[in-house]
Chains A and B, each alone.
Chain A
Amino acid sequence: MIAMGPLSTGLWVDRAALLRRQETLLLERWESRGYREVAPPLLLPRGPVPEEDHGLKGRTFTLRGEEGLHLRADFTVAVALMVASRRPPADGVLRLSYAGPVARRPSPDLEEPWELHQAGLERVAPPADPSGDGEVLFLAADGLLALGLRDAVLELGHWGVAGPLLARLPWPEEGRALLAAALNRKSLSNVEALEGRYGSSEESRLLKELLHVGGRPEAVDALASRLGRAGVLPAWESLRRLGEELSREFPPLAVRLDPLDVRRWSTYTGLTFKAFTPRHPQAVLAGGRYDGLYPDLGHPLGAVGFAFRLPL
């Protein structure tokens, strides 16, 4: 009898061939758009970036006897460490792509690691560069169609709509964390229970309202004056515009807006997006803007990127 390790049973012949075809298709496509492939390390040092702020806390694996190392849980940090070690240009744009496995915990409480294959890209540039969001988002949409996923739903969110409201909420840190979790689960009953515990405020009422109307753009537009007073209307309007441009450019895809896409609050700082298809139980693609990572490594740069989960 063969004792199977917990990490992965790997991809058997047909799935391995499918993975290679899809990786090659995406990497060649991105290369033609100026994104050059890098091969980030599988083993990463602990310490250079705050793990809680960049989605690593509770998601990484430490090798036994090697407490200073972990397996990469995603490519974003691995690419950033590569870029940071090479004196990135302060005023230029770096376009990088990658493909390979990552290993992560499905949740901080679970010991069993998951091994996934990803292919994705990163656009690293001064954070004020506004053109990066559209460029990367359009490449994500293009990739969905290139992989034949014409029935995909591409859903856009923006940290700038709900993030500032959550940050300003006059609640203790624990309450804000619980509210972020409740919003992430779209649990109106939990949001109401938390208001009962920590007190209602304009910020909590507006977040609840946004959750209540879901992502109906016209219903969110109806809240424009309140969003304006809260200082978050520009983020919503930019999301609206981006959604409309994407729909015009990629008619086969269903484009949706979710102003409360609060997945990984501490990581993303602007646009977020993910894609689903009827045949895949989890998101087939996820990404967004995270301008906090490179400053943590000493570089005044921002980044936007995404990764596909392969094979599909």
Chain B
Amino acid sequence: MPRIALSKGRLLEPSLRWLEGRGFTRPSLESRSLTLPLGEGWEAVLLKGPDVPVFVQNGAADLGVVGSDILEEDQPDVYDLKALGFGRCRLSLAGPVPLEDLEGPLRIATKYPRTAARLLGSRGLWGRWIRLSSSVEVAPLLGLSDAIVDLVDTGRTLRENGLKELEVLLQVEAHLVVNRRSYRFLSRRWWEGETSAEGMEGPGVAKS
């Protein structure tokens, strides 16, 4: 059965709306089952965001909807065919004071150490990375780090933890990713005709 992996959390609701717009049945979320029927012979599997590309890369799901922050960080071996236009936010550097007011080597807490190192390194900033998996915003408040690199939407969580957005590093939104095998065998309707990938098609058949 063809399967699409969806990220739980803030991307789930817009992902289900996007699927509804493509003619699929909206599944009930009341059950605790992690696989949900979508109609048309398809099912959805609900996963934590970083697990979506793992399932897709290894063929346990054909398609996935995942934030571009995770694609940047993990660089999975999947096709990244379409920016979906929802789940928009930004990956930003934030801290209690401007960086120039700090002395000594920076300590930066983040869920995205590779992306942060690359993006800050290209700006001439280097630091010691502290990898966290949640509640990153509290790290400077408790003295664990000098600054953070994290997703920012409205900025309210930053403000409530005494942090300022110092620099936007990356614009983030939901992307449609496809397993390399599935790309060859799924209908092209999945990645035709929307957003920046308009008109993109899979490899053409050389024979009739």
Chain B: minimal CB distance from A187 (Å): 4
Which single member of B71, B82, B181, B206 contacts A280 (CB below 8 Å)? B181
Judge if B137 is at the interface, Cβ distance under 8 Å.
no
- Size category, B interface: 20 to 34
Cβ-defined contact, A247 with B206, below 8 A: yes
Judge if A243 is at the interface, Cβ distance under 8 Å.
yes
Query: Nearest A residue to B121 by beta-carbon distance?
Result: A174
- Residues 150 to 198 of chain A near chain B (Cβ within 8 Å): 153, 155-156, 174, 181-182, 185-190, 192
Which single member of B80, B82, B83, B203 contacts A256 (CB below 8 Å)? B203
- Residues 58 to 94 of chain B near chain A (Cβ within 8 Å): 58-60, 68, 71, 75, 77-83
The secondary-structure label for the interface of chain A is: mixed
Which single member of A186, A217, A254, A278 contacts B200 (CB below 8 Å)? A186
Taking CB atoms, residues of chain B closer than 8 Å to A18 are none
Which single member of B79, B122, B203, B204 contacts A185 (CB below 8 Å)? B79
Taking CB atoms, residues of chain A closer than 8 Å to B58 are 281
- Residues 85 to 126 of chain A near chain B (Cβ within 8 Å): 106-107, 109
Taking CB atoms, residues of chain B closer than 8 Å to A218 are 204
Taking CB atoms, residues of chain A closer than 8 Å to B75 are 107, 181
Cβ-defined contact, A281 with B199, below 8 A: no
In the complex, besides A257-B204, A276-B181, 11 extra interface pairs with C-beta distance below 8 angstroms are A186-B183, A187-B79, A187-B80, A188-B196, A188-B200, A189-B68, A216-B204, A247-B207, A256-B184, A256-B204, A256-B205
A contact residues vs B (CB 8 Å cutoff): 106-107, 109, 153, 155-156, 174, 181-182, 185-190, 192, 211-219, 240, 243-244, 246-247, 251, 254-258, 276-278, 280-283
| A and B contact pairs by CB, cutoff 8 A, 10 listed | A153-B184, A156-B206, A187-B81, A188-B200, A215-B203, A217-B204, A251-B207, A276-B180, A278-B181, A280-B59
